[in-house]
A and B are shown apart, each in its own frame.
Chain A
Amino acid sequence: MSITELSPTTATPPLYERMSATKKAVVVRELSNLLGARYVLHSPYDLMLYEYDASIDRSTPDIVVMPASTPEVAAIVKIAARYGVPVVPRGAGTGLSGGAVPVYGGIVIVFTRMNRILHVDYENLRAAVQPGLVNLHLSNALNPHGFYYVPDPSSQRSCTIGGNVGENAGGPHTLIYGVTTNHVLGLEIVTAEGDILEIGNWTYDMPGYDLTGLLIGSEGTLCIVTQIIVRMVRLAEDVKTMVAIFDEMDDASNTVSEIIAGGIIPAAIEMMDRMILQAVEADSHAGYPTDAAAVLLMEAEGVRESVAEQVEQIEQICRQNHARSIRIAVNEAERQLFWSGRKNAFGAVGRISPEFYVQDGVVPRTKLPQVLRRVEEICTGYGLRVGNVFHAGDGNLHPLILFDSQVPGEVERVRKAGHEILQVCADAGGTITGEHGVGIEKQAEMALIFSDTDLRVMQQVREAWNPNQLFNPGKLFPLPGRCADMKQL
């Protein structure tokens, strides 16, 4: 049995019929009374902007709302519940798995107006923020005081903390510090019933189930997050960023394995292969060689003495693995240049291909060399070009498969290649997503790593929190009674 055939766990069939024009008019009126007409979008022209995120799926919402407060969010959820309309929260729409795409239409809640830092407690290293706050804006606000917020997805200039919580976002610097779930202590949420609840706390070890941990990464399917309590971290006194250039992909992969096996855990180890290097150089001129097979971008940070020692050890391992050259950024400007190449890599690839599809598999770090070879073989087999830019230190791959949806059959080949890559990751003892989320596209692949029992247990959670399945339906796993739809997606 595949997951698409899972038996329904609920007796109530969910309602996902598109709203009729009459019903929509009624709901729009109610929402307009609540929020003011300018914060309720419903014309096809206005809605178009909200039909996609950074993934390859799209679907148009019926209504888009922009609340300014938690009580407004609760009221929206109650209205939606009354009319049986799906609700999908949306941050900046930078998600890579379709988390913000309203598969069944309904109401999309956009958090751009709830983007404030509510409180910063520098003594206890905590901050309370609203979900619409842009990730980088939080660090920018904390930096002058010597602190920052650690999780730094590549989209951090636009993605929001609320979206990060929804997807349990990572980023290059999560290697030593962990991902979103390791930096969030508490949440204010709106439940499917429209209740406003505080989950977790400013302090550690609240008695009871760790609901904060459960909700982070639940992709909008269990609750709507309206406030987040985060931990902040002291900016390190010393940061050294280095680039090592390799003529063989295997040498670069082995370097990563050996660094980790040696017990050296730097702040970041990122890898870019030749295709990515060429794209990045054409775009941002970060100074990467375009003829190398792979480049490792590594960062050590912390106490001066430990940074110096780490850099020395890393250099040694790179040389043992035949690095062509190793460069350490001489100043902050050069460091930023190195990183700009990495952080703009996805954008840069946009210059050489009309479209690309990014996967997010994770493998044990020792398996990197063989898995990267398989990825290349799979894509070549489908006649597709692939580039790799990824968090090598975590074993978190991001193969970018280039394609052009105008070419007949190409999208299908891309999906097949993507599926095979995830199969390889699963076979290597890994997982199908390290930080982008399951969303729409990876639901079928859940069966590669989870049994029917595993998935049934997860369904119980959704059943407990979102019994009428109105929160972000069509994500994570197929809905009871909606199997046919899933197969078409």
Chain B
Amino acid sequence: MSEIETLATAMHQFAPTAQVSTEAGVLQNYAIDGVLPRLLVVPETVEQVSQAVALANQQGLNLLARGGGSRMNVGNSVEQVDMLLETNRLSHLLEHEAPDLTCHAEAGITLAVLQAQLAKVGQRLALDPADAKQATIGGILASNASGPKRLRYGTARDLVIGLRVVQANGEVARSGGRVVKNVAGYDLNKLYIGSLGTLGLIVEANFKLHPLPVREHTLLLTYPGASGATETVLDILASQLTPSALELIDPGAASDMSDFFGLNLPTNGYTLAINFEGRLAEIQRQIDEARVLARTHGALMADDLEGEDQTHFWNVVREHTRGTVTCKVAILVSHIAHYLEEIENTCRRHDLEAAVVAHAGNGILYVELRPSDATPRLVEAIRELRRNAQEARGSMVVERCPPDLKRLISVWGEPGSEFYLMQRLKQQFDPSGTFTKGRFVGGL
């Protein structure tokens, strides 16, 4: 019997209700960068997850967790995945302490289902990454996914107050707790968030919640050039205005959104979308002031969105961070305008096209490069764009790209001088490499 069969049998024996499959036909649907996992396990309980991890650990096999599968291709390709552990049956909202504005959920619940349950009492988890219907909170936390509203509410690190994480030996450890303020022990929540499953497998999370806004409004502004838009962003950040999102859309992205999603955005200029949430009086005044401010920077027109149009618009914007080849760039807000010029120059030099959507208030840019099969040119362009980001105190990660291209580039960029400390952490947490190695920074 092969080691995989042994493992499958053992899983059956210890956890008869967990779904276990070694059939090629099933595994086909779970390929990661073209690599089929050797075994699929779908546990029903945290105990079963713990058993699966312990078994893999004992057999010297590696395992990778999967939530909704929307971000499985993030990170370096790996040659072999022994066990793929899907968390989608761990999908319960365990507690919702509504008067405390906190909740406790299993990792496999999708963001959309969680939000729908919280919304029943007028609350939400203030995280808005792409693909809420597919993405699970475990996957969102492991990949530190975020969305436009991070401007106001921060990212997972600001909203998670506790985690339960299956360790490499199968033991379940808690970090943090269920209260909003807690400094007992090391803040391991921060360590697990964004670690791409390399240190542990997140099975439950406690969150700090926010009330749903009474009202929401989006102002759309158009500028002939990028600098007017980014100057508006800088002015707003230094002003009394408190927008929830400041999104910059370049002509390339605007054209996609107009062609494919029915949005009516001008394709010969830059669009700045400003989202306000709150009570009517405070929103109204902020909209008025934002308009005045935008005009001083040459905003051409102002359009307003509310209701369904607004929801549709933001969904489209969020989805646009997921092209075939998409790089995520983090730079200082004051460098955005210049960086956009560099993107243009790079694309011209390598005969490529770019479409950019940016969380402008945070200095986060999603740069989609096309055509996605222009491999040698893309390799050069990615190198240049990374160098430019790093020269401006920033970073660049290739979040999405075809496996062929992935082999030729560095997904995360070269690790810094602090990397040996990350290696030591990995060594401590997962000495025998139970959690699939190689996908994260520097091959972690």
Measuring CB to CB, which residues of chain A are less than 8 angstroms from any residue of chain B?
121-126, 146, 167-168, 170, 174, 178-179, 181-182, 191, 195, 197-199, 201-214, 216-218, 222, 234, 236-237, 257, 260-261, 263, 265, 302-306, 309, 362-366, 391, 394-396, 429-438, 442, 446, 449-451, 453-458, 460-465, 476-477
Is A366 a contact partner of B100 (Cβ separation < 8 A)? Answer: yes
Is A434 a contact partner of B182 (Cβ separation < 8 A)? Answer: yes
Smallest CB-CB A-B distances: 3 pairs: A213-B190, A263-B211, A261-B99
Taking CB atoms, residues of chain A closer than 8 Å to B328 are: 205
Min CB distance, B164 to chain A, in Å?
10
Is A461 a contact partner of B183 (Cβ separation < 8 A)? Answer: no
Is B187 a contact partner of A366 (Cβ separation < 8 A)? Answer: no
Is B181 a contact partner of A435 (Cβ separation < 8 A)? Answer: yes
Is B180 a contact partner of A394 (Cβ separation < 8 A)? Answer: yes
Contacts across chains A and B counted by CB atoms under 8 Å: 255
Known: A261-B99, A303-B286. A197 touches B183 (CB 8 A): no
The interface bits of chain B over 129-153 (1 if a CB of A lies within 8 angstroms of the residue's CB, else 0) are 0000000000000001010000000
* B154, B173, B199, B328: most-surrounded residue (chain A CB, <10 A): B173
* Residues of chain B in range 278-316 having any CB-CB distance to chain A below 8 Å: 278-279, 281-282, 285-286
Taking CB atoms, residues of chain B closer than 8 Å to A458 are: 185-186, 188
Contact of A198 among B99, B362, B418 (CB under 8 A): B418
Query: What CA separation (Å) do A431 and B421 show in the bound complex?
Result: 29
Taking CB atoms, residues of chain A closer than 8 Å to B440 are: 208
Known: A122-B238, A434-B182. A453 touches B187 (CB 8 A): no
Is A450 a contact partner of B185 (Cβ separation < 8 A)? Answer: yes
Is B177 a contact partner of A431 (Cβ separation < 8 A)? Answer: yes
- Closest B residue by C-beta to A126: B332
The verdict on B441 contacting chain A, using a C-beta distance below 8 Å, is yes
Taking CB atoms, residues of chain B closer than 8 Å to A202 are: 332, 393
Taking CB atoms, residues of chain B closer than 8 Å to A395 are: 100, 179-181
Query: What CA separation (Å) do A248 and B394 show in the bound complex?
Result: 54
The verdict on B338 contacting chain A, using a C-beta distance below 8 Å, is no
The interface bits of chain B over 421-440 (1 if a CB of A lies within 8 angstroms of the residue's CB, else 0) are 11011011100000000001
Query: What CA separation (Å) do A290 and B444 show in the bound complex?
Result: 60
Q: Which of B13-21, B35-43, B369-377, B409-417 contacts A (4 or more CB under 8 A)?
A: B409-417
Given A203-B363, A204-B155, A437-B183, 12 further pairs, Cβ under 8 A: A124-B363, A181-B190, A197-B421, A207-B441, A213-B191, A261-B101, A306-B278, A366-B97, A395-B100, A438-B183, A449-B184, A476-B186
Contact of A205 among B97, B184, B330 (CB under 8 A): B330
Query: What would be 13 A-B contacts, judged by CB atoms less than 8 Å apart?
Result: A178-B158, A204-B155, A204-B364, A214-B191, A218-B186, A236-B240, A261-B100, A305-B281, A449-B177, A453-B172, A461-B188, A462-B186, A464-B427
Known: A263-B122, A454-B174, A461-B428. A476 touches B185 (CB 8 A): yes
* A178, A302, A436, A454: most-surrounded residue (chain B CB, <10 A): A454
The verdict on B242 contacting chain A, using a C-beta distance below 8 Å, is yes
Taking CB atoms, residues of chain B closer than 8 Å to A212 are: 190
Contact of A168 among B187, B194, B419 (CB under 8 A): B187
- Closest A residue by C-beta to B281: A305
The verdict on B333 contacting chain A, using a C-beta distance below 8 Å, is yes
**What range describes how many residues of B lie at the interface?**
35 or more
Min CB distance, A444 to chain B, in Å?
12
* A121, A178, A210, A306: most-surrounded residue (chain B CB, <10 A): A210
Taking CB atoms, residues of chain A closer than 8 Å to B358 are: none
Known: A430-B177, A434-B183. A457 touches B333 (CB 8 A): no
Known: A234-B238, A306-B282. A211 touches B181 (CB 8 A): no
Contact of A463 among B393, B418, B428 (CB under 8 A): B428
Query: What CA separation (Å) do A429 and B100 show in the bound complex?
Result: 12
The verdict on B66 contacting chain A, using a C-beta distance below 8 Å, is no
Min CB distance, A306 to chain B, in Å?
4
Contact of A123 among B101, B177, B183, B333 (CB under 8 A): B333
- Closest A residue by C-beta to B363: A203
Min CB distance, A311 to chain B, in Å?
13
- Closest A residue by C-beta to B198: A209
Is B181 a contact partner of A305 (Cβ separation < 8 A)? Answer: no
Measuring CB to CB, which residues of chain B are less than 8 angstroms from any residue of chain A?
97-102, 122-123, 144, 146, 154-155, 157-158, 167, 171-175, 177-191, 193-195, 199, 210-211, 234, 237-242, 278-279, 281-282, 285-286, 328, 330-334, 362-364, 393-395, 397, 412-413, 415-419, 421-422, 424-425, 427-429, 440-442, 444
Is B424 a contact partner of A446 (Cβ separation < 8 A)? Answer: no
Is B184 a contact partner of A303 (Cβ separation < 8 A)? Answer: no
Contact of B178 among A179, A216, A364, A462 (CB under 8 A): A364
* A146, A217, A438: most-surrounded residue (chain B CB, <10 A): A217
Taking CB atoms, residues of chain A closer than 8 Å to B101 are: 260-261, 263, 265
Min CB distance, B54 to chain A, in Å?
13
Min CB distance, A74 to chain B, in Å?
13
Taking CB atoms, residues of chain B closer than 8 Å to A454 are: 173-175, 185
Taking CB atoms, residues of chain A closer than 8 Å to B419 are: 208
Is B181 a contact partner of A214 (Cβ separation < 8 A)? Answer: no
Is A208 a contact partner of B425 (Cβ separation < 8 A)? Answer: no
Known: A198-B417, A430-B179. A210 touches B395 (CB 8 A): no
Contact of A124 among B181, B282, B332 (CB under 8 A): B332
Is B332 a contact partner of A446 (Cβ separation < 8 A)? Answer: no
Taking CB atoms, residues of chain A closer than 8 Å to B193 are: 210, 213
Query: What CA separation (Å) do A44 and B404 show in the bound complex?
Result: 68
Query: What CA separation (Å) do A212 and B416 show in the bound complex?
Result: 14
Is B281 a contact partner of A309 (Cβ separation < 8 A)? Answer: yes
Min CB distance, A175 to chain B, in Å?
9
Taking CB atoms, residues of chain A closer than 8 Å to B179 are: 362-364, 394-395, 429-431, 434
Taking CB atoms, residues of chain B closer than 8 Å to A429 are: 177-179
Taking CB atoms, residues of chain A closer than 8 Å to B195 are: 209
Is A438 a contact partner of B184 (Cβ separation < 8 A)? Answer: yes
Is B173 a contact partner of A209 (Cβ separation < 8 A)? Answer: no
Is A433 a contact partner of B183 (Cβ separation < 8 A)? Answer: yes
Is A213 a contact partner of B187 (Cβ separation < 8 A)? Answer: yes
Taking CB atoms, residues of chain A closer than 8 Å to B181 are: 170, 174, 179, 362, 391, 394-396, 431, 434-435
Is A362 a contact partner of B182 (Cβ separation < 8 A)? Answer: yes
